[in-house]
């Protein structure tokens, strides 16, 4: 039976065993982040531990691939220590672009929303959740700040450690740009028909199939040919008709470098994911309506739209599956 369970990203991505690298410091560009030397009763070392793609797996177990899947440049880690309380770990993930840093935060929207100041970026093309920049829960703060993804974690949460964690995050965010989310998100329709609404807390931006599998499991293989040149968004649409039955459908859109790559990726997806429907498969996918298939967990639909592939999963009926694709098609960035 096809496994379509959602995997808890918090378990896969954030619950990892940290192994501190004891070797020589890796050469890297100097950090532009001015962290305070002390915060409360905690004090940091003079220099950070620096991790790059060559030694990231020596630093952490289990999560390195997910960071590399977002065009990771390097990581700077400081451990603030105190004789009175457990330590606080600050991790500064320097990414290739702001989109990559946003993507890491978007994989889990759980936690208390925390607001920090910053320099507004270009707001001419805002998307769905512009105000959410940081989330806090159980001693861990996660933050998107321009091209920086941040984790500040108190090894033991106390009122004092919470205050210190928030103070450190505010210092990191100070004077940094707050650009908008990835352009692909602006294509998403907040409402489909009269009853289907997009869940803003179920929206993830990614580039790799490992990140996709962390929010919605498709396959242990890369059946959509995702890599660092692709951009993808996975969202949930929820039935809000008030009938008492909370039904959800999943919508995935992937942008490829060109139409031919998108066509080949969709062909591979059909062959791998819909083997029982091979007789309905055609390589002629040029600008036709959505292809629809009834499978064991509901209706699936897909469509090739220029250099995009759009797929709907777990739809309750054929009509809605087609509506979700067609409702999101007009605003895809050209």
Task: Dump pLDDT digits (tens) for 49-79.
Answer: 999 999 999 999 778 998 999 999 999 999 9
- 69 shares a domain with 199: no
**Which tokens in the block code for residue 328?**
């999101």
Q: How far apart are CA 73 and CA 97, in angstroms?
A: 10
The verdict on 52 and 145 lying in the same domain is: yes
* Better-predicted residue by pLDDT, 110 or 132: 110
In 177-276, which residue ranges form alpha helices assigned H by DSSP?
A: 209-215, 259-273
User: Do 230 and 211 share a structural domain?
Assistant: yes
The pair phi, psi for residue 60, each rounded to 5°, is -140, 150
Burial class (CB in 10 A: 0-12, 13-18, 19+), 284: exposed
Residues in the chain: 334
178, 199, 224 — which closes off a domain? 178
Q: Nearest 5°: phi and psi at 223?
A: -75, -10
3 located within any domain: no
**Worst-scoring range by mean pLDDT, 20-34, 192-206, 282-296?**
20-34
Do 146 and 223 belong to one domain? Answer: no
**Same structural domain, 165 and 266:** no
Give the pairing type, strands 38-39 and 42-43. Answer: antiparallel
Contact at 8 Å (CB) between 93 and 54?
Answer: no
Please check whether residues 48 and 160 belong to one and the same domain.
Answer: yes
Q: Which helix H or strand E contains 58, and what residues bound it?
A: helix 56-59
Question: Looking at residues 255-273, what average pLDDT do you find?
Answer: 96
pLDDT attached to residue 22 = 33
Residues 89 and 159 in one domain: yes
Distance CA 241, CA 230 (A): 35
Question: Does residue 334 fall inside a structural domain?
Answer: no
Same domain for 196 and 130? no
The residue range of the domain holding 43 is 9-178
- Judged by average pLDDT, the poorest of 75-84, 169-178, 212-221 is 169-178
The pTM of the full predicted model, rounded to 2 decimals, is 0.86
pLDDT of residue 285: 56
Q: Find out whether 91 and 50 touch, Cβ atoms under 8 Å.
A: no
Cite the beta strand spans of the chain per DSSP E: 17-18, 38-39, 42-43, 49-51, 60-61, 72-80, 88-95, 112-114, 119-120, 134-137, 140-145, 148-154, 177-178, 191-192, 196-206, 231-239, 248-255, 291-295, 298-305, 308-315
Same domain, 148 and 193: no
**Residue where a domain terminates, one of 145, 161, 178:** 178
- Tens digits of residue pLDDT in 181-221: 999 998 899 999 989 999 988 999 999 999 999 999 999 99
Q: What would the mean pLDDT of 109-121 be, rounded to a whole number?
A: 77
- Report the C-alpha gap between 309 and 295 in whole angstroms: 19
Residue with tokens 């940094």: 176
Beta-bridge partner residues of 239: 196
Residue 333 lies in a domain: no
- In three-state secondary structure terms, 75 is strand
Give the integer Cα–Cα distance in Å for 26 and 207: 26
Q: Are residues 215 and 291 in the same domain?
A: yes
pLDDT for residue 11: 35
**Angle, CA 294 vertex, CA 243 and CA 248 arms, to 5°:** 35
Pair type for strands 177-178 and 119-120: parallel
d(CA 311, CA 328): 11
Q: Position of tokens 């996709």? A: 212
DSSP classification of residue 25: P
Angle at alpha carbon of residue 232, lines to 291 and 185, rounded to 5°: 100
Residue 169 lies in a domain: yes
Instruction: Using alpha carbons, select from 68, 1, 4 the residue that is nearest to residue 234.
Output: 4
* 284 CB-near residues (< 8 Å, 6+ apart): none
């Amino acid at each position: 039976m096809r496994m379509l369970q959602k995997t808890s990203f918090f378990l896969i991505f954030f619950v990892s065993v940290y192994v501190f690298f004891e070797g020589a410091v890796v050469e890297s560009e100097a950090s532009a982040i001015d962290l305070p030397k002390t915060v409360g009763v905690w004090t940091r070392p003079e220099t950070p531990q620096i991790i790059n793609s060559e030694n990231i797996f020596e630093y952490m177990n289990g999560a390195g691939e997910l960071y590399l899947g977002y065009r990771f440049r390097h990581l700077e880690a400081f451990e603030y220590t105190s004789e009175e309380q457990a330590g606080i770990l600050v991790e500064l993930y320097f990414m290739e672009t702001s989109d990559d840093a946003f993507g890491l935060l978007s994989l889990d929207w759980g936690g208390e929303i925390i607001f920090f100041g910053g320099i507004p970026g270009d707001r001419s093309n805002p998307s769905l959740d512009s105000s959410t920049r940081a989330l806090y829960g159980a001693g861990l703060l996660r933050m998107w700040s321009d091209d920086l993804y941040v984790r500040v974690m108190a090894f033991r949460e106390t009122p004092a450690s919470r205050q210190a964690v928030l103070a450190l995050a505010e210092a990191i965010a100070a004077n940094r740009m707050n650009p908008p989310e990835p352009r692909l998100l602006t294509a998403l329709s907040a409402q489909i028909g009269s009853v289907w609404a997009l869940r803003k807390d179920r929206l993830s931006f990614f580039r790799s199939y490992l990140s996709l599998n962390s929010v919605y499991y498709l396959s242990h293989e890369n059946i959509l040919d995702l890599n660092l040149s692709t951009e993808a968004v996975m969202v949930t649409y929820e039935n809000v008709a008030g009938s008492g039955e909370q039904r959800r459908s999943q919508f995935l859109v992937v942008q490829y470098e060109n139409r031919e790559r998108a066509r080949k990726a969709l062909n591979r997806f059909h062959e791998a994911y819909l083997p029982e429907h091979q007789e309905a498969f055609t390589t002629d996918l040029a600008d036709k309506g959505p292809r629809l298939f009834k499978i064991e967990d509901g209706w699936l639909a897909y469509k090739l739209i220029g250099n995009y592939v759009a797929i709907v999963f777990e739809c309750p009926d054929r009509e809605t599956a087609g509506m979700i694709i067609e409702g999101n098609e007009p605003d895809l960035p050209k």
